[in-house]
Structure 1
Amino acid sequence: MSLPARVRVTRPPLPLAPALRSAAARLCLTEPLPELPAAALAIAGGAVIGAHLRWAGGAAAAVETGWRGRGIEEALAREVGEGA
């Protein structure tokens, strides 16, 4: 499945920049975020709309409600190496 035209999935450099870290924590309801060895973000129109985070002993993933079911979840999981 291809992603919507305005969406891009990326693996940003770690540690995450403060604005990206805040957006990822908001989506995944994980505050404070532990040290992340892997993270993927979905971005549309300059805003973070999805995140898949992995750390030692845990993981969290979320996509904003209006974007769910469009292949973004699977793309995020692939990007952090968790398959889909």
Structure 2
Amino acid sequence: MTLPARVRISRLPLPPAHGVALQLTRLCPEVPLADLQAAAVALAGGRVVGALLRHAGQLTLGVDPGWRGKGLEAALQHHLEQEA
């Protein structure tokens, strides 16, 4: 799985910090962050450009439009599965 060089995928510690929570809300506005059980995020240039959030037994994926189709979706899924 090849990602753009400046992208890093990591597991998000919960609860997310305020600034990160704002970015998650932008990507996945329908997810109640208080219900997060796990999260994997894609970071580029100091900001969250993709997130896969596990909440209430379901998964929600959010990726910035400019980053779609660059492998983030699969990388986030893989990372969250590996960390489970």
TM-score range, shorter chain: 0.7 to 0.9
Match of 1:37 in 2: 37
5+ residue gaps in structure 2? Answer: none
| Post-superposition offset of 1:35 | 2.1
Q: Residue 34 of structure 1: SS of its match in structure 2?
A: helix
Opposite residue 57 of structure 1, the aligned amino acid is: G
Count of aligned positions: 82
TM-score by length of 2: 0.86
Matched residue type, 1:9: I
1:34 Cα shift? 3.3
**When the two structures are superposed, what TM-score results if normalisation uses the length of structure 1?**
0.86
Once residues 13 and 33 of structure 2 are traced to their aligned partners in structure 1, the CA distance between those partners, rounded to angstroms, is 15
Which stretch has the larger CA shift, 32-41 or 19-28?
32-41
Secondary structure, counterpart of 2:33 in structure 1: coil
Report the alpha carbon displacement of residue 58 of structure 1 after superposing the two structures with TM: 2.5
Return the offset for 1:17.
0.9
Confirm or deny that 1:50 pairs with 2:55. Answer: no
Structure 1 regions of 5+ residues with no counterpart? none
Q: Helix, strand or coil: the match of 1:75?
A: helix
User: 2:28·2:62 contact (CA, 8 Å) conserved in 1?
Assistant: yes
Residue in 1 aligned with 2:61?
Answer: 61
Q: Tell me the C-alpha RMSD between the 2 structures.
A: 1.6
